[in-house]
Each structure stands twice: as C-alpha cells, then as structure tokens.
Amino acid sequence: MEHVSEWLQGFPPLVIYLIVGGIIGLESMGIPLPGEITLVSASLLAVKGAGSPWGVSIAAALGAIIGDSIGYAVGHRGGRPLLARLGRRFPKHLGPDQIDRAEAMFARWGVWAVFFGRFVALLRILAGPMAGALRVPYRKFLRANAGGGLVWAFGTLWAIYWVGEAAERWLKGFSLAALVLAAVADIFTTWLLKPRAKQAMASS
C-alpha cells in the first residue's frame, strides 16, 4: 500500500481521481487490479490534503458503477465462454474454482451478490461479467451495483478521512499512523457486509 501511496502522491489531484476511477473501473470489468488498495491509498492522501475527499469518493463510485455496468454488458454478450476465457487468462484470480464459487453466490443470494460483491475481492472482479452471463435483469443489477458502489466508495473514504483527521491531531509523527488508519477503516466499512458474504461463499 505504501508503494501505491507514493506513486499516487506524484500526481496532481485531477489525475489521482482519474487513476482511482480507472483502476476501480477496470477491476469491476473483470480485470484483476488492486481497486481497494488504490481507494484506501487515495483516501489517505486526501487526509493529508493531496486532493479532495469528495473527488476521490465520487471517482471511486463512478468507476465501480460504470465498470460493473460495462462488465455486465460484456458478460451478457459473451456468456459463459467469456468467463472461461477470463479463467484461462487469469487462472489465479478467475479460474474454474473461483467462477464456480461466484456462480454459487449468485444462485444463493441473487442480485444481492452484486451488492455484497463490492466488499469481497473475488466478487468485486466477477460480479459484473457474472451477472451479465447469468442474464440478471439489468434494472435489478443496476440498483444493486449502484448501491454497493456508493456504500463501498463513500463509506471507505469518509471512514478513513474522519479517523485520519482525528489521528492527525493525536498521532503526529507516529510512523505507523497510516497503517492503523487503513486497518481501522477497512474493519469499520465492511464489518456488517464481509462476514455475510464470506459465509455464503464458504457454504456454497
């Protein structure tokens, strides 16, 4: 995460927003990229004044929603053969086992798998293409997609930002401050959703 923060810090705010939206969008289309790490890193930079928290959160939400929608369209057009090709291209992240587990999540949770998927790395990559391949009605998909994207993006950023502002006052000069902020924010934003999603995946 430190490497991502150092890399982002070298760009002006507008470019940071574009990078955040682009990486999260590509991840949501089905390409294994570190979307959550990028969001957390950009959020920590916003705490330090490198960009606006609103800019980062809006860019992340738009990237998630638009990326998932593009992934849905591609999955709808390509179907299961597309998922099989993705599995051959990215066997570590999108192999047959991962696709089977994601499909089982959709069978169990329906469109809610899209919402919960925003908080689980596997489904964050597969939710859009999988929903399209399974012919989930787009209106239902879009509601779950938008809801998950907004809660994940704004919840993650503002939790980090608010905790960060307090920590800046009390932990100035403490070298582990950034690591503590990231850990606390991740727990705070996902404690209701991630356990349910993981339990469903384990029982599928």
- Higher pLDDT, residue 51 or 70: 70
Greater confidence (168 vs 31) lies with 31
103: left (phi over 0), alpha (psi -120 to 50) or beta: alpha
Question: Higher model confidence: residue 115 or residue 86?
Answer: 115
Question: What's the confidence (pLDDT) of residue 73?
Answer: 93
pLDDT tens digits for range 150-188: 999 999 888 887 876 665 555 454 444 555 555 565 555
User: Are the C-beta atoms of 24 and 39 separated by less than 8 Å?
Assistant: yes
pLDDT tens for 91-117 read 766 677 777 777 787 878 888 888 988
The SS3 call for residue 204 is: coil
- Neighbouring C-beta atoms of residue 88, cutoff 10 Å: 10
**31-43: b or e for each residue (b if 16 or more CB lie within 10 Å)?**
bbbebbebbbbbb
Measured distance CA(150)–CA(114) in Å, rounded: 13
Residue 160: name the closest of 34, 57, 21 by CA.
57
Neighbours of 127 (CB within 10 A): 34
Which spans in the chain are helix H? Answer: 2-9, 13-29, 35-47, 53-89, 91-94, 96-109, 112-117, 121-133, 138-170, 177-190, 194-203
In sequence order, what are the residues at sequence separation of 6 or more whose Cβ sits closer than 8 angstroms to the Cβ of residue 204?
Answer: 101, 104, 105, 107, 108
pTM as predicted: 0.74
Q: Where are the domains of the chain?
A: 2-203
Q: Which residue has the tokens 């709808």?
A: 76
- The share of the chain scoring above pLDDT 90, in percent, equals 24
129: closest CA among 54, 84, 203, 72?
A: 72
Predicted confidence at residue 174, as pLDDT, reads 45
